[in-house]
Structure 1
Amino acid sequence: MDTGFDLREHGGVDVFLRDCPTRAVLELIASKWTMLVLVALEDGRPMRFAELRRRLDGVTSKVLTQTLRALEREGLLTRQVYPTVPPRVEYRLTELGREVGGLLQSITDWSQANIVAIQAARKDFDERTAAATSEA
């Protein structure tokens, strides 16, 4: 499939190509929990695991741990362990994480501003689909 100009020939990437490493980044960022972690940390204040877990209502410890590790691996956040008993661990966005966190904050704001219209469209679609199914 031709995706247009192939940037690989010039040392770049092309997200539309199957083997493009950018796709793994997009997959991570598109995750609901990743988005919420990045937005929660976007103000620059470090947060501890328990704070994040309380802030992200519904996330399990396992999923939050996996999400934080993935974000750390990609260079989007740092994990600082303090030598106390018990150990204190704080998470903070890196410069790269703050950049994407700002973009995701805009998406979050848009989602909250448009939820009523989206819910109305969903209801209308479901009613049309139900009516079409019952007529068939």
Structure 2
Amino acid sequence: MDLVFSRWTTPILWALDTFGRQRFVELQRSIGTITPKVLTQRLRQMERDGLVVRTYHAEIPPRVEYEISPLGASLAPVFAALAGWSDEHLAEVDEARAEFDAAG
């Protein structure tokens, strides 16, 4: 579970699945609040785990692109289910939070 649901794995995979192959800076912009250091660490781990494919282009200047692997893409139904659950139940979560906060 930690492999897929760590803090940044889901947003990285979602961005690569939604927007396709991206360079590092493009991916960082797609996600928004992630630092370069954390993005580098997560991408390396996800490449090691087989969820992301890194392609190095020996050009001047060098270019590196990341894309979701077939294994990573197999998680798309899980993300879709989570997004559906959020759409359906987010109002209930907000209500529960408001009730909790009002009581305490």
Alignment partner of 1:111 out of 72, 82, 86: 86
The residue that corresponds to 1:10 in the other structure is none
Matched, 1:62 2:37: yes
Partner of 1:82: 57
Matches for 1:1-136 after TM superposition, within 5 Å: 26-43=1-18, 45-128=20-103, 130=104
For these two proteins, the number of residue pairs brought into alignment is: 104
Deviates more, 1:67-76 or 1:112-121: 112-121
Over the residues paired in the alignment, what is the CA RMSD in angstroms? Answer: 1.7
Structure 2 gap ranges (5+): none
With normalisation by structure 2, the TM-score equals 0.88
Structure possessing the higher radius of gyration over alpha carbons: 1
2:16 and 2:54 map into 1 onto residues whose CA distance is 12
Native 8 Å contact 1:38 1:104 kept in 2 = no
CA distance in 2, matches of 1:101, 1:76: 12
- Which protein, 1 or 2, shows the higher relative CO under an 8 Å CA cutoff with sep ≥ 6? 2
Identity, in percent, stands at 38
If the length of structure 1 is used for normalisation, what is the TM-score?
0.69
Query: Higher helix share goes to which structure?
Result: 2
Q: Using the alignment, how far apart are the partners of 1:90 and 1:33 within structure 2? A: 18
Name structure 1 gaps, 5 residues minimum. Answer: 1-25, 131-136
Moved over 4 A (4+): none
Q: Quick one: distance in 2 between partners of 1:101 and 1:71?
A: 15
Whole-angstrom CA distance in 2 between matches of 1:69 and 1:119? 35
